[in-house]
Amino acid sequence: MKWLKNIESIVLNGSSGICPYCGSNDTEYAATIVFGDMGFGDVWCNSCKNAYHISRIKIQDGFDSAAKTVPTDLKY
């Protein structure tokens, strides 16, 4: 999976890291709580518009789950 290092970086550093497709640093992530501490997330590149959707994740306390708008023109 190309986005694995980005997911690890989000968990460890709170930063989504470098895009595995184009090498851009212009990446972001968003997490949405659905029930309790469970939800889903997306990580994407604003430059090349590639993205990855993560379903059924546990969102830990302190995780930056601030409401970000996920762009609608992403390529999953």
**What are the E-state strand segments in 1-76?**
27-35, 38-45, 51-58
**Contact at 8 Å (CB) between 50 and 74?**
yes
pLDDT tens for the 76 residues of the chain, in order: 899 999 999 888 889 999 999 999 999 999 888 998 899 999 999 999 999 999 998 887 766 656 678 999 999 9
Specify the pairing of strand 51-58 against strand 27-35: unpaired
The structure's pTM equals: 0.87
Measure the CA angle with vertex 23, ends 20 and 26; round to 5°. Answer: 100
